[in-house]
Every structure is written in structure tokens, then in C-alpha cells.
Amino acid sequence: MKKILFLSLFFYVWTTQQLVSYAINIDEGQSNVFYVKTNSAPVYDESGAVLGVIHKNQAYFYMVKTETCYYIEVENHLGCVSTASVVEGSTTFVEEKLERTGEMIYTTDFTQLTDLDGHVLYTSQPNRRHYAVAEDDTYYYVKLAGRTALLQKVNTALDKGIPVLMYHHIVGPHDGRQSLTSAMITEAQFASNVRALQEVGAQAITMDELHAFLQGEKNLGKNAVVITFDDGLKSNIVYAYPLLQQAKMKATNFVITSRVPTTTQPFDPHKLQSISQEEIAWSTDVFNYEGHTHQLHSQEEGSSLVVLQSRKSLKDDLLISQSIVPQHYFAYPFGQFNEATKQILTETGYRLAFTTKHGYVKYGDNSYELKRIAIEPTTTEEQFRQYISY
């Protein structure tokens, strides 16, 4: 027992001496600085996955601490460092407050981030998104635990954004259709898409997770993808739901609430039927249901009723839709909107809104003008894999 106590004391004294030798003073009263006890310590996200590693002989400023975690700024939000791995202290470094004026990048390999003197601050996993606040010819500068960290450009790539995939109606093998419109794909094509997502290790995230990322409140790896369906069609439940459930993938369904029946209707593959309230209730393990208006999903002379309405009429419609299906996210019918539309969405509590414009969702985008990637019957497997590649 004495030997164990002696070794423990020796280890503590040795660790303290190592830190002091690096011009660092240990001060248990310091409230927001810590050091790694051993050579390194992992940094975890909220799921327990390792984001990267911090290193000894460096001062790290933490945002908040709990019994189990010290939370530091890393990537686009916070990461957890186990309290068992660190010791609090003080430092001559001043915590830096860097403005977000740059762009998102991602690591292409295991990559060391250094301080301004070349000492290793952090080792990042590959395919992790970091927010660059500045750059020069050789480095990107990122925020890390209250410090400026240098990330070599040779080990990074510019982040093209998160693919938000847009689907509508799915046609089964025995539905008898001779041709497909741009808003339809076959069950076989959708199954192929799901397999491709699995093969590249895609992480199908929820709207809440996307919103948190865009707010700088969540870290996301480069493999994040969002799956969306417009119109709330029953074919999504019949064909897409079991495939997504088996693949353990989440998706968002933007429903037209005036078309949602209370009870489940028998499936008729020759009709465009809507998901029922009963089906909404039991399918939330895969789908989260969001807004696509109550009864404004139509056009007059090519213009969406959404942009033709008075402010009051549009607001009333959205409030009715929210009373039927609680919702915080919106897809514009036919992709049409104007400044008044965006303002009313803000007033009624919507956090994000999606267009039909082709492209990726990037950090810093207007929250009410987000792009998507339409998957159509003419979308080849090669094109789809390019959309989701990282």
C-alpha cells in the first residue's frame, strides 16, 4: 500500500516538474486553464467519438467543466476532455477571442495543429471540419481551446458543404407506371442510393443537428448528409422508411398538412396518397416531420401561392400547419420565396428554410435560402456518388 502511495506521489511530483520546466505554473485555484497529465489525451464529441488528441506541455483554456469533462473550443463547437486526463493550472498565455471571418475546411489525413512557435497543440482525425479564421500561403489559422492553431494547407481541403438530398415520390416495382416525372424515382434507385451512402460511411443527420452546426453549436465530420422528402407522400412510408430504418438513417419529411388524413389509408400504388397522422406517429424513429404549408402548395400562372399571399394569409396558413404537425423547418413549395416570406418564417419560429436551388449547405449560408440536391430518375449512380463524395 505504501509503495502504491509513493508511486502515485512520485507521478504527481514528476508531472508537476515537467510542466514547470516548460515555464508553466500549476495553480489549483485557476478557473479556466488545464494541462494534460501524460503525453496526450483524446477529445470526444457528444456521441463519444474521438475528434482528435491534445498534448502535454500546452495550456488549454476550457469553456465549462463538469464532473467528467472539460469542454474546449474545437472544430466548430466544443469537445470533451476527460477530467481524469488533466490538471488545472495557470499560464502566461492570454485567451484569444478570434472573430469568425473565414471559411470551413476539413482535414484530409491525421494532421498536427501547432501553436505559433511550432509546438503541437492538437492532432486532428481525418475528415474533420474546422473553421479557419484566417490563412496565409502555408497555413490555415483555427481556434482551439482559446489558442490560435496553425493547420498546414497541404493536409486540408476546402469544405464544399453538406449535401441535402431532395426526394419526392417513390415508385414500386409493381406500380405500373410507363414513365417517371422529375419528382419520382424507383424503389430500386432509392435502394441503390442508400447502399451508396452506407458504402461511403455517410452520417445521415437530423434537421436539429444541421441547425446546430450552422449556429456553431455542433461539430460535424465531413461525412454528414441530410435526406429530405417533399410533400409527405405515403410512398415514402411504404418504400423509403424500411430501407432507411434498416440502414439506421434519419430523414426529414416536409408535409402538406391539409392533405394529411387522420387514419391510415390502404395503399394504392396508382395514386399519390399522403402520410396519415397515425403513420407520422409511429415512423418518427426514421422521419422527423416538418413544414411545407397547410394548403398553399399550388401555383397560379407559374407563381407559388406562398409568394402571392398577403402577409396575414401566409402567417395564418403556417400557424395552422404548425398546430397539426409541430415544426421548426420549412421547404418552399416549388422553391419560390421572397423577402416577405423569409420574414414571416422568422416570425413564426422556423429556424431553417430550403429552396430547390442546386447546391450544398455551407457554414455561413443564409438560413432561409438553403440549397438542396434534387435526386431525379435521370440521376445516375455515378452522379449520386459524386454528390455525396468527400
What's the predicted TM-score (pTM) here? 0.89
* pLDDT of the residue at 14: 33
pLDDT value of residue 23: 34
**pLDDT surpassing 90 at residue 4:** no
29 compared with 314, residue with greater pLDDT: 314
Is it the case that residue 24 has pLDDT exceeding 60?
no
Average pLDDT, the chain: 91
Which contiguous run of DSSP H or E holds residue 158? strand 156-158
* Of residues 30, 60, 211, the one with CA closest to residue 121: 60
**pLDDT grade, residue 178 (50/70/90)?**
low
Characterize 23-37 residue by residue with b for buried, 16 or more Cβ atoms within 10 angstroms of its Cβ, and e for exposed. ebebeeeeebbbbbb
Average pLDDT over residues 36-42: 96
Q: What spatial distance separates the first Cα and last Cα of the chain, rounded to whole Å?
A: 54
Confidence of residue 17 (pLDDT cuts 50, 70, 90): very low
Distances (CA, A) of 16 to 36, 60, 68, 85: 11, 16, 22, 14
Confidence of residue 19 (pLDDT cuts 50, 70, 90): very low
The pLDDT-based confidence of 31 (bands split at 50, 70, 90) is low
**Which of these ranges, 147-161, 171-185, 262-276, has the smallest mean pLDDT?**
171-185
Share of the chain above pLDDT 90, in %: 85
